[in-house]
């Protein structure tokens, strides 16, 4: 039976319907459940869900009650939450689509690589806060692999003829196939897309995204920016846009999705200090 009202805190048990390798390090997984019929996504283009994943060797399986797990088991057996953008949703079919980045160690990447139709995973959500402002004179969207799904959802919502500057840092050229848009905007003249390749360099070896954005000749007028991904990079770009480009903070969506060399749990612990330092970055004289 479909729930009369969905709560973002009540876990939904979903089943893997299909998997598809988009690039060597990106896997698209379609999840389905009756409770996903009418799932409230669409208002924002950065809608996300939090997967609840048992750690390796856990004594329990999906479905489970997170409160009971925390009450009855030691902390190293507690489930881990991993946040992912909803790449697409079909309320009638009761499905959502998530694109997983699988390079590196972790929990969600290996789960996605091993996932097969019929496997189950539970999640909570959705959350979200950003959508392109249809009144903006131009848009800047930037980040690393983690932000590709949200940008791909946002691009079709930008009105035709409005310049959109997209800056994406990925591992190498073959990963560029991870960006496609339902409206085919990658071929439109008003989309200025720049790919940056790390080619084996680390995420924090140099401020590649910041350097590229500093070189952009952004138009006059009222712009809107969406900058997400590695927390250190986001803070650098946010500081530049607010201080040197004089962007209004209400037109600047810029928060770290993750932090280099930290788990999601570690990043949640660090985030209050990140926010405090990011506020100190702002030039209050502007």
Q: What is the DSSP string of 28-56?
A: EEEEE-GGGTT---SS-SS-EEEEEEPPT
Task: Output the pLDDT for position 284.
Answer: 59
- 25's tokens: 């390090």
Cβ atoms of 159 and 136 within 8 Å: the answer is no
pLDDT range class, residue 46, cuts 50, 70, 90: very high
Model confidence pLDDT, tens digit, residues 77-121: 999 999 999 999 999 999 999 999 987 668 999 999 999 999 999
Residue burial 178-207, b: 16+ Cβ < 10 Å; e: rest: bbebeeebeebeebbbeeebbeeeebeeee
pLDDT range class, residue 179, cuts 50, 70, 90: low
% residues pLDDT > 70 (the chain): 90
CB under 8 Å to 24, separation ≥6 — which residues? 174, 175
Question: Which CATH number does 138-280 carry?
Answer: 3.40.50.80
Provide the 3-class DSSP secondary structure of residue 69: helix
Q: Residue 277, preceding bond cis, omega within 30 degrees? A: no
CB under 8 Å to 123, separation ≥6 — which residues? 11, 12, 14, 31, 49, 50, 51, 52
* CA distances to 123, 126, 131, 243, 251 from 235, in Å: 29, 25, 20, 12, 15
Question: Which CATH number does 12-127 carry?
Answer: 2.40.30.10
Angle at 29 between CA 27 and CA 34, to 5 degrees: 170
Q: What is this structure's pTM?
A: 0.90
Model confidence pLDDT, tens digit, residues 196-246: 999 877 777 689 999 999 999 999 999 999 999 999 999 999 999 999 999
Q: How many CB atoms lie within 10 A of CB 103?
A: 13
Q: How many CB atoms lie within 10 A of CB 81?
A: 18
Report domain extents, the chain.
12-127, 138-280
The span from the CA of 237 to the CA of 163, in Å, is 19
């Amino acid at each position: 039976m479909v729930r009369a009202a969905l709560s973002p805190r009540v876990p939904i048990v979903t089943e893997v319907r299909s998997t598809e390798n988009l690039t060597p390090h990106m896997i698209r997984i379609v999840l389905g459940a009756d409770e996903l019929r009418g799932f409230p996504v669409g208002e924002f283009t950065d809608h996300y869900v939090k997967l609840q994943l048992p750690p390796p060797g856990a004594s329990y399986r999906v479905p489970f009650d997170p409160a009971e797990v925390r009450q009855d088991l030691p902390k190293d057996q507690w489930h881990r939450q991993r946040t992912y953008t909803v790449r697409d949703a079909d309320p009638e079919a009761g499905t959502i689509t998530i694109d997983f980045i699988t390079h590196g160690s972790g929990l969600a990447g290996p789960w996605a690589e091993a996932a097969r139709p019929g496997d189950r995973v539970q999640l909570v959500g959705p959350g979200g806060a950003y959508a392109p402002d249809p009144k903006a004179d131009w848009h800047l969207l930037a980040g690393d692999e983690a932000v590709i799904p949200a940008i791909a959802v946002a691009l079709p919502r930008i009105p035709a003829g409005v310049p959109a500057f997209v800056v994406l840092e990925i591992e190498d050229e073959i990963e560029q196939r991870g960006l496609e848009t339902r409206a085919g905007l990658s071929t439109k003249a008003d989309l200025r897309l720049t790919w940056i390749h790390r080619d084996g360099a680390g995420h924090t070896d140099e401020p590649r995204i910041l350097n590229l954005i500093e070189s952009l000749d952004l138009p006059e007028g009222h712009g809107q920016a969406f900058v997400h991904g590695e927390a250190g990079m986001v803070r650098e770009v946010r500081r530049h846009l607010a201080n040197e480009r004089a962007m209004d903070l209400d037109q600047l969506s810029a928060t770290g999705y993750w932090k280099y060399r930290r788990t999601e749990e570690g990043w949640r612990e660090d985030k209050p200090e990140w926010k405090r330092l990011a506020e100190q970055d702002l030039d209050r004289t502007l």
